Amino acid sequence: MSGAESAYTSQYTSWGRYPRAQHRVRRLAWRHDAEAALTPGDGTVLPYAYGRSYGDVCLNDGGTLIDTRALNRLIAFDPQTGVLRAEAGVSLEQVLAFAVPRGFFLPVSPGTRYVSLAGAVANDVHGKNHHRAGTFGRHVRAFELLRSDSASGRAGCTRTRTDSASGRAGCTRTRTDSASGRAGCTRTRTDGARLVCSPEENPELFRATVGGLGLTGLMLWVEIALKPIRSAELEVETIKFANLDEFFELSAESDATHDYTVAWVDCAASGATLGRGLLMRGNEAADGPLTPHTTRRLNVPLEAPNALLNPLSIRAFNALYYHKRRAKVVRTRQHYSSFFYPLDALGGWNKLYGPRGLLQYQCVLPYAGDAGPLKMIFRAVADSGMGSPLAVLKVFGDLPSPGMLSFPRPGVTLALDFPNAGARTLALLARLDDIVRAEGGRLYPAKDARMSGRDFRRFYPQWRAFARFVDPRFSSSFWRRVTQDAAQETGGDGEDV
């Protein structure tokens, strides 16, 4: 029953709960009859699963969302190699519950496990091990993409029968795979095509889809290479740093010795204490139980009042958090759930930001030994009087991301959370944009709700090449926002700047 849909609803929000949007929703339960979800009739479509991106990349205001959460089945797993093929709506949480007891872990994980496999591909997410492992997309072996248009006219695309990539390690062909015959029958309805994409097969569409924000077609399954682990626990050190120069030193040293590094910065601090924070670094324990996480116990039941996260409470929280640890270095052994997903323990924590939601701001800045640009950002935040309770800093490695629109690049990335205080918040973020632009950095679409189209196109000069791969039936609020004013800008044929 893949075509089930309701009237327009505002139930589907992004994690920042800003902006709000109205959607029709189609729930997709079976991958073999997914064509029905692309049947023309109600505007553009966009896949949606757990809504963990912050701004509007997962929204399609006035159009249709294809809810893929019921596509939650595994397809094949090779216990020798750790290669897992699973349906697009399988969450990282479901992958971990399955894989950890079998001695495998995600090769790359973002800060929440409530993300679908397809969402992780579409945003080419990164984690605390970017300096060692690069982005999620580097570990994707293949995926199947359902296009609404015929792929025959698309250079370099080879049409494939469903699940026919039987040669792939660990994936056995079974009776069900003959569902491809049905795909053929339904093609009359949509003239769609199912394409298996990998670095070797349909490589251009692969590069467009990794980091492609769900716009290049509907992913039906994803095959990833998990990595072996000997324990579900990590040896973790938490180290205090007094300023940004110390952070960069510590980070460089840690990247050489630790698989995972990330830092939290007290961005309410200013003056002599500007840029102080805590660096967390970890390695997997050599032995220990392979127990997966337990499901969370606490939920935020209701929206907090707007005033809960105010500059004063944020300042107090940050100072407390920084001073909680007296020692310079604290060593602990932690379960992966508290190391990677501390916020997942509190379900619906985004509601703490009140009815107006929150704005995330994540940028990457080139770094060549000068912490100046970061200091400018922290100063701008401190001057604005608007604190960010969560300021996360991480140095990216130089492993290239496979996607055309992938966000990570060598340098340092900073993520900030702001309660949405309207014009004041937007003005601060516009100031930060000026710094990022001047420094040759860029912003992360998965975390964005407001960057200008001009900035997006400057940050992602491959956007025009990417646009050729956007499925004509697909769109998003984000994509319209950042491309709608492109036409007036350039008459030329090159990339616009």
Q: How far is CA 228 from CA 79, 102, 407, in A?
A: 10, 9, 27
Q: Which stretch binds other proteins (CB under 8 A): 22-30, 108-116, 387-395, 437-445?
A: 22-30
CB of 183 or CB of 415, closer to other proteins: 183
Residues 155-184 that bind other proteins (CB under 8 A): 174-177, 179, 182
Question: Is residue 31 involved in binding other proteins (CB under 8 A)?
Answer: yes
- Judged by CB under 8 A, the chain residues 68 through 107 that form the site for other proteins are 70, 73-77, 84-86, 98
Kindly state the smallest distance separating residue 79's Cβ from other proteins, in Å.
8
Tokens of 361: 């701001």
H helices of 67-221, where? Answer: 92-99, 117-122, 130-133, 180-190, 203-209
Told to check if 30 binds other proteins by CB under 8 A, we report yes
Q: What token pair was written down for 187?
A: 């093609």
Half-sphere exposure (CA, 13 Å, Cβ side) for 87? 18
Give the one residue of 24, 27, 126, 141 binding other proteins; rule: CB under 8 A: 27
Residue 399 within binding range of other proteins, rule CB under 8 A: no
Q: What is the three-class DSSP state of 452?
A: coil
* Cβ-based nearer residue to other proteins, 221 or 322: 221
Can you tell me the distance from the alpha carbon of 449 to that of 145, in angstroms, rounded to the nearest whole number? 27
36 binds other proteins (CB under 8 A): no
Distance from the Cα of residue 292 to its chain's centroid: 22
317 binds other proteins (CB under 8 A): no
Quote the crossing angle between the two packed helices 372-384 and 423-438, to the nearest 10°.
Answer: 170
301 or 492: CB nearest other proteins: 301
Tell me if 4 contacts other proteins by CB under 8 A: yes
d(CA 148, CA 179): 18
Strand locations in 243-400 (E): 260-265, 277-284, 298-299, 329-335, 346-347, 358-365, 391-396
Closer to other proteins by Cβ: residue 161 or 454: 161
Q: Which is nearer to other proteins, 103 or 397 (CB)?
A: 103
Span near other proteins by CB under 8 A; candidates 25-33, 199-207, 373-381, 425-433: 25-33
Sign of the dihedral through C-alpha 464, 465, 466, 470 = positive
Residue 182 or 328 with smaller CB distance to other proteins: 182
Residue whose pair of structure tokens reads 């290479």 in the numeric block: 225
Q: Is 275 left (phi over 0), alpha (psi -120 to 50) or beta?
A: left
Asked if 242 interacts with other proteins (CB under 8 A), we say no
Nearer to other proteins, 153 or 301 (CB): 301
Question: Given the rule CB under 8 A, which residues bind other proteins?
Answer: 1, 4, 6, 11, 27, 29-33, 70, 73-77, 84-86, 98, 174-177, 179, 182
